[in-house]
Structure 1
Amino acid sequence: MSPTTTARLMDGTGLARRIVEDAATRAAEISTRTGATPCLATVLVGDDPASVTYVRMKRSRSAKAGITSRHIALPATTSTAELVDTLGALSDDPGVHGILLQHPVGPHIDERAAFEAIAPQKDVDGVTLSSFAAMSFSLPGFVSCTPGGIMRLLAEYRVDLAGKHAVVVGRSAILGKPVGMLLLAQDATVTYCHSRTRNLSALVREADVVVAAVGRPRLVRGEDIKPGAVVLDAGYNAGNVGDVDFDAARTRAELITPVPGGVGPMTIAVLLAQTVDAAAQQLDSGS
């Protein structure tokens, strides 16, 4: 990677569109071949406006990809046991091929217990322990969607990760931790950073690849980006602001994702692609 004065933008919107178009083609082929249409079940607890919007958008994109969506709206008072029962029933339903539990689900619910009620073969959002283990050991399974989108962007722009130092800022179970495992599988040397990391700037300055996934606006300073680095901003904060100081970082990076239009569209695209994958696997095996 060589220094540049203005980074190239990594176009997540365009790549996501191609992934969804491919998913639509495969969904149509599955429907013709089996008589069944891939189906994604979305489960929403409560009526948080942002979550309602996200689920509506995912259902709309599903329809465009030829995927049937089944939406289950549960009241905010839903208990962990009730949510687990709902997810268990969907896992047992042969007409449902993928399950998405919109999170967060509320502080009174054991989110991990809820995730684990999703059958691994239907975990198209990559949130179960089984999916994380598969990611960690490079075994067949479904990846967490945002990390999966990040890896597809890196592949699209032919970023050779072997021997590169990747710094992941964030350690969530569905973003920071799994993306580190996926980077490691591509022979990157991975450093995890988080809210208690001391001297974050010094670590970012050493990074050939930066993944910002902590949910704090402009936490990663542009002046700390190593010249020629690749920067993937998975943050989305009020005012269309990411976790990276984009304007300053763009003057130093070689490749960078914009917010919006970078990592965000890739998340839904991977979700839909994995739903079609799940449908193909289940329908071909008769499960």
Structure 2
Amino acid sequence: MTIIDGKEVAAKLRKEIAAEVEAWVASGHRAPHLVAILVGNDGASQTYVGHKEKCCAEVGFRSTVLRLDEAISEAYLLGEIAKLNNDPDVDGFIVQLPLPKHISEQKVIEAINPRKDVDGFHPVNTGRMISGLPSYLPATPDGILELLKHYDIETSGKNCVVIGRSNIVGRPIANLLSQKGWDCTVTMCHSRTKNLKEVVREADIIIAALGQAEFVTADMVKDGAVIVDVGITRVKSDKTKSGWKLLGDVKFDEVAPKCSYITPVPGGVGPMTIISLMKNTLKAARKEVYKD
């Protein structure tokens, strides 16, 4: 059994991106500029944006965080998005989710210029991805693909089961793995799937992305399966200084011995998501997806 080390892979890719940025700037271009809009004081969101700022500095990007009060109106936020859409010095930007309940996330996502949508959530980028055209891939699915590639995990002809059908992870990773070059036979499972345990047990590759702690147990996994655990749930613990610990969607201790490869939580998929954001921002600066 091999543990898939997302931290190690992310560190390698950060160095590669930094070298590309250095060459890009040396050839006379300005450094790529990524902006993050943070609405409110959600602790997890603040931590995540902080990690993005740090990663931008490491790879040589210019980074800006626009911090807005939780009470701002939807119209005000849409106005700030319009400014960034029209700012030629901004290559890409993200609006950190979740947003306050009085603001429509879908309306915000659709307001972002697809050319600057480095989160890859805009319907135009989703459509391009599904069609196999150049696009900004959403961060977590792209991170999963990078891990599979780094560990040289065979996907062609393999039976892949994706548990979860969110627009952020489940749907896009199912689509991507079915495309030419990855060539998986993909089954997507969700809360209405009948005989879920039996379906998952047939999988060569399991991608667990439903957000339910330790949902996947040993009796759902066949020997030699590859497990990619996307879930991350914070639960109370009297064994840590913080009083909390992080659990994935997979019951790691009992499932890991059956696997050929498995991602831990934390330290598996998580470190890869910011790398995808960096890749997309560099693509935006180079105009690799949208040429004009």
TM-score > 0.5 by shorter chain = yes
AA in 1 matched with 2:246: N
What are the within-5 Å matches in structure 2 for residues 1-287 of structure 1?
7-185=1-179, 186-238=182-234, 239-281=245-287
What corresponds to 2:239 in structure 1?
none
Q: Is the 8 A contact 1:222 1:247 kept in 2?
A: no
Q: How much does 1:215 deviate?
A: 1.0
Q: Is the 8 A contact 1:43 1:101 kept in 2?
A: yes
1:137-193 deviation per Cα after TM superposition (whole angstroms, max 9, x unaligned): 111011001000001111112222222111111111111111111111122111111
Contact map agreement 1:80 1:110 (CA 8 A) in 2: yes
- Work out the CA distance in 2 between the residues paired with 1:264 and 1:270: 11
- Residue 195 of structure 1 aligns with an amino acid whose one-letter code is S
After superposition, give the CA deviation of every residue in 1:25-46 in whole Å (9 maximum; x if it has no partner): 1112222223411110001111
Rounded to whole Å, the distance in 2 between the matches of 1:179 and 1:251 is: 25
- Tell me the CA shift for residue 101 of structure 1: 1.2
TM-score (ref. length: structure 2): 0.91
Q: Distance in 2 between the 1:55 and 1:279 partners?
A: 20
> Identity, % of aligned pairs?
40
Contact 1:80/1:113 (8 A) holds in 2: no
Q: CA deviation at 1:195?
A: 2.5
User: 1:80 and 1:188, CA in 2 relative to 1: closer, same or farther beyond 3 A?
Assistant: same
What do the CA deviations read for 1:72-112 (whole angstroms, capped 9, x no partner)? 11111223222222112112111111111111112221111
Match of 1:3 in 2: none
- Aligned mates of 1:169, 1:106 — CA distance in 2: 27
Q: Which amino acid aligns with 1:201?
A: K
Stretch of structure 1 that moved more, 178-187 or 84-93: 84-93
- Give ranges in structure 1 of 5+ residues lacking alignment: 1-6
Amino acid at match of 1:204: V
Give, as a single letter, the amino acid of the residue that structure 2 aligns with 1:96.
Answer: V
The Cα shift of 1:65 comes to 1.0
| SS class of match (2:34) | strand
- Deviation readout 1:187-219 (Å, 9 max, x if unpaired): 211111122323321111011111111111001
Tell me, yes or no, if the aligned pair for 1:19 and 1:273 is still in contact at 8 Å. Answer: no
Per the normalisation by structure 1, the TM-score is 0.93
Stretch deviating more after TM superposition (139-148 or 161-170):
161-170
Alignment-mate amino acid for residue 266 of structure 1? M
Residue deviations 1:219-247, cap 9 Å, x none?
11122111111100011111121110111
Tell me the distance in 1 between the aligned counterparts of 2:151 and 2:128. Answer: 25
State the 4+ residue runs in structure 1 displaced beyond 4 angstroms: none
Task: State the alpha-carbon separation in 2 of the partners of residues 79 and 190 from structure 1.
Answer: 41
